[in-house]
């Protein structure tokens, strides 16, 4: 389906009549969203709204992924689901609006807010850092934004866990849950861990030194929340699920390279 076209979303759902809809698609170009707000809102808000309406009509359930960027990043403690939101840019605002739009449809829906998603394939921070670390002597990486890297496969396993346990398919459980990697670090800390693990795997290779820098030295069109920590305890009490420690997920991902 074309997530930028709500009619495309509606037509496919009506044709396939699914029991479950998992929406892992989004407009995620955080900086570009500042100059393409209409497209970002169509994909991140109008598509989830259409999904929610069609799911309700079919009696289907929805798993939808959202983001830590719905918060403004104040403070230094992990956010819980009921904390006030305050996105800093179009991307976060469109994702927050998408949460509300999905839930307004009345379908049974589980929204998992996550952060810093990466994996063994595709374009992501880990793969970029390891490539650059082989090419340069020093990498300057932001060290004052705090959060947790999250393995995409861990999120997929969470979705499969929820779908595979019928006792969890309760409309009363509809709502928002935080689901990011366990523990916390900074982007520089993530890069340091990646380079450390790569050095252990390839002792004969010289990798770049990681130097932490403040966000002010790496300006971007869209502001980033300095605090992206998410409290995931609700995920455990409701679904009996604990997200993987970010260092361990990093090790497992790198084993797949």
Q: Is 238 helix (H, G, I), strand (E, B) or coil?
A: helix
Does residue 137 surpass a pLDDT of 90?
A: yes
| Catalytic center residues | 91
Q: How confident is the model at residue 133 (pLDDT cuts 50, 70, 90)?
A: very high
pLDDT of residue 200: 94
Q: How confident is the model at residue 213 (pLDDT cuts 50, 70, 90)?
A: very high
What is the distance between the alpha carbons of residues 93 and 195, in angstroms, rounded to a whole number?
A: 34
The model's pLDDT over 7-38, given as tens digits with 9 standing for 90+, comes to: 999 999 999 999 999 999 999 999 999 999 99
Domain residue extents for the chain: 6-254
* Average confidence score pLDDT of the chain: 96
Which CATH code is given to the segment(s) 6-254?
A: 3.40.50.720
The model's pLDDT over 178-190, given as tens digits with 9 standing for 90+, comes to: 999 999 999 999 9
pLDDT of residue 169: 84
Task: Report the pLDDT averaged over residues 198-227.
Answer: 96
Q: Are 51 and 43 in contact (CB under 8 A)?
A: no
CA distances to 66, 81, 125, 250, 252 from 118, rounded to whole Å, are 15, 22, 7, 9, 12
């Amino acid at each position: 389906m074309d997530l930028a076209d709500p009619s495309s979303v509606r037509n496919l759902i009506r044709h396939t009549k699914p029991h479950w809809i998992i929406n892992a698609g989004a407009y995620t170009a955080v900086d570009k969203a500042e100059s393409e707000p209409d497209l970002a809102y169509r994909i991140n808000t109008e598509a989830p709204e259409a999904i929610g309406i069609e799911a309700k009509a079919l009696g289907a359930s929805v798993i939808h992924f959202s983001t830590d960027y719905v918060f403004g990043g104040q403070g230094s403690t992990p956010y819980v689901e009921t904390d006030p939101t305050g996105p800093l840019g179009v991307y976060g605002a469109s994702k927050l609006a998408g949460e509300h739009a999905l839930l307004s449809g009345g379908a049974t829906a589980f929204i998992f807010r996550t952060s810093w998603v990466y994996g063994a394939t595709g374009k992501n921070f880990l793969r970029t850092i390891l490539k650059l670390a082989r090419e340069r002597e020093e990498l300057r990486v932001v060290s004052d934004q705090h959060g947790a890297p999250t393995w995409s496969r861990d999120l997929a396993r969470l979705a499969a866990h929820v779908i595979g346990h019928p006792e969890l398919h309760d409309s009363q459980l509809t709502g928002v849950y935080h689901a990011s990697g366990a523990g916390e670090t900074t982007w520089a800390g993530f890069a340091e861990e990646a380079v450390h693990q790569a050095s252990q795997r390839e002792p004969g290779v010289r990798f770049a030194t990681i130097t932490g820098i403040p966000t002010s030295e790496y300006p971007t069109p869209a502001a980033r929340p300095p605090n992206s920590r998410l409290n995931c305890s609700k995920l455990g009490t409701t679904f009996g699920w604990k997200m993987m420690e970010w260092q361990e997920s990093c090790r497992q991902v790198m084993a797949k390279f």
